[in-house]
Amino acid sequence: MPKDTAVPPPQPMRADARRNYDRIVAAAESVIAEHGAEASLEEIARRAGVGSATLHRHFPSRQMLLEAVFKGRVEALCATARDLLSDPDPGAALVTWLRAVSAHAVANRGLGASLMRGARDGDPTLGDTCHTMIVNAGDELLMRARQVHAVRHEITTTQLLKLVSAISQATEQESDGATEADQLLALAIDGVRTR
């Protein structure tokens, strides 16, 4: 008789472990916003009020920590997209969401690029879930904007996300990168609108 190869479900975290996990992710968000994706893990542990061993127990690799930070931010972007689906102006809703994506990308300071490097060097699924979540959220907003002819029909969510990504990469080292990114995004959005 063959052995049962099913993997048992993961055990829920103890309350203190969950608090440490949440503090580490919150500290990582703050440190990454200040210093970029290559921020010191020791600084993250210090700000979280945990030891280095605790950080590494929860996140055995930098990539796993980056993905946890990124996923939380992506979930917030997707929640914003869901909220905007009820906006009576689908074109304005799409622009509002693209601005939120841009602000997210600028604040990440290399986080997305670092995740993609990790995906190439190690786990090929790293970041895929987050990317799919963002594209799906954008697709719904874009579809509504197309229906009212607020955007050119041939525009895709992937193209819009590439524009936002390029703008954020070009401005992330600027002293006021968020403002510069917003201005450049406004220029790009003019090219997306129907004529």
- Architecture of domain 62-192 in CATH? Orthogonal Bundle (1.10)
Q: Please tell me the CATH code under which domain 1-60 is placed.
A: 1.10.10.60
Question: pLDDT tens for residues 58-98?
Answer: 999 888 898 888 888 889 999 999 999 999 999 999 999 99
By the 10 Å C-beta count (0-12 exposed, 13-18 middle, 19+ buried), 8 is classed as exposed
Q: How confident is the model at residue 9 (pLDDT cuts 50, 70, 90)?
A: low
Domain boundaries, the chain: 1-60, 62-192
pLDDT of residue 82: 97
- Mean pLDDT over each residue of the chain, to the nearest integer: 83
Judge whether 181 and 187 are in contact, CB under 8 Å: no
17 or 21, which is more confident: 21
CB atoms within 10 A of CB 86: 7
Q: Does 112 have pLDDT greater than 60?
A: no
pTM for the full predicted model: 0.72
Question: pLDDT tens for residues 116-125?
Answer: 554 445 555 5
Mapped to the 3 state alphabet, what secondary structure does 108-126 carry? HCCHHHHHHHHHHHCCCCC
